[in-house]
Structure 1
């Protein structure tokens, strides 16, 4: 049974991600846990001990959170009504990232699926701050679903790689599982500025071939000095339904999504984005 965590702030974007998750795993037995976190603003700003007045505010926020989760659970069961799915929920007095850290330590989820933006999302930015923090801290795969994205089966998966890390079965498990479920093709894209792979890159590429031997896949090599442009062009040309990357520190993933290129790639990222931690 898969265990999927669905963070929600009750925004349309978070509902869109929940809807995507329920359709992605509609044929699999899953437990989906809706998670809403809350902290009084004074507590967030000052990290102060709660006064009596703040305790009253906390109680009110807890009630709003639990009522919202109950309504969301009822909506899911009414609109999707899938006997394979168990819907649970959790309301926590905590920040989202700290609560997810605690859940990571308890090993209670296999994947996190959330929207790219929260209730106050800005369209020009690729990810909201919560999503960035979750991607960087999570110890399981995180699937970020763009605002307004309508579900379509992920038949074409794009997996860019610089071949600078070794790959293991656990890291690639999510990709292989989704590919087999939807009879999808995995497009491994190497974007280079040099004509030849190093010996390490060749070895890691061979590792990928071994891992993907029972999965339909193609290897692509593109010469381009500008990685965001190469990914965007391939994505549009090949009608990609899912973008997957391994979050490896000091690789082009970090440079691409969390440094100067973030605004540029943001205009092109219009498909769900699965991020896999490198230390799986």
Structure 2
């Protein structure tokens, strides 16, 4: 059973992420922690003690009621998923999310890719991207208006340089859903490609998880790996795009690079970002 942190600012995009998280929790028998950051307009030390906690308690009740009303509006039963709420004051949203994640010993973060009040910006260039870049926790970023679908097909782009380590992270997540894990390798006809492909095929064939497929595509040297990947994704039969972050990996460049790099990968699918060591 997972414990899932769901940051929200009450925006439509955040509400959609809450709905996704609810369905995800039902599907995986997990629980939710709803988190909202209140702006720290004045320091807590300057605010009367009783008012400070009264405001947070009021906000917690508001968050809980808003969540239940959202579910009822969509004819969903709140009693199917256990949930807790966390509200605090912070001017640095990413810090607030990380602190809530640690406090509740969460396993996963699910958050929207567009939003207001601190989340307004394009994913891979916003506070969401900053959180992904800084936090070493698994995160699912949900696109605006995406509706949850049972997860049976995941896609991951690999350079096959560290396949054993990557599968050690990816397979347990895939196994939760009994999902097919499709690995995309873009072949640029380099001198090492043939051996990498052969070794990968042998390793996948001997792996205990038999629902792994290696797909080899001709890579264009004129396109980045993100652009190559975008051309190959079929959102109609894929429910999750997986990115595995290791130091100096291509996703680091995507997160930290220019605005054009950040905008290039927009598949319209939820993106699961896993980190080295998970």
TM-score between both structures, scaled by the size of structure 1? 0.80
For 1:103 and 1:202, locate their aligned partners in 2 and report how far apart those are by CA, in whole Å: 44
**Is 1:86 matched with 2:82?**
yes
Secondary structure in 1 matching 2:244:
strand
Question: How far apart are the structure 1 equivalents of 2:109 and 2:235?
Answer: 29
CA contact (8 A) 1:164 1:201 kept: no
Q: How does 1:1-280 map to 2 (within 5 A)?
A: 1-41=1-41, 50-52=45-47, 58=52, 62=56, 65-75=59-69, 78=72, 79-81=75-77, 83-94=79-90, 95-106=92-103, 108-119=105-116, 125-127=122-124, 129-165=126-162, 166-167=165-166, 169-178=168-177, 180=178, 184-195=179-190, 196-197=192-193, 207=203, 210-211=206-207, 213-225=209-221, 226=223, 227-236=225-234, 239-260=237-258, 261-266=260-265, 268-280=266-278
Deviation at 1:273, TM superposition (A): 0.3
Shift of residue 252, structure 1, vs aligned partner: 1.3
Q: Mark the runs of 5 or more structure 1 residues left unpaired by the alignment.
A: 44-48
Structure 1 pair 238–152 and aligned structure 2 pair: CA distance change class (3 A):
closer
CA pair 39-188 structure 1, distance change in 2 beyond 3 A: same
Change (3 A) 1:140 1:52: closer
Give the count of matched residue pairs: 268
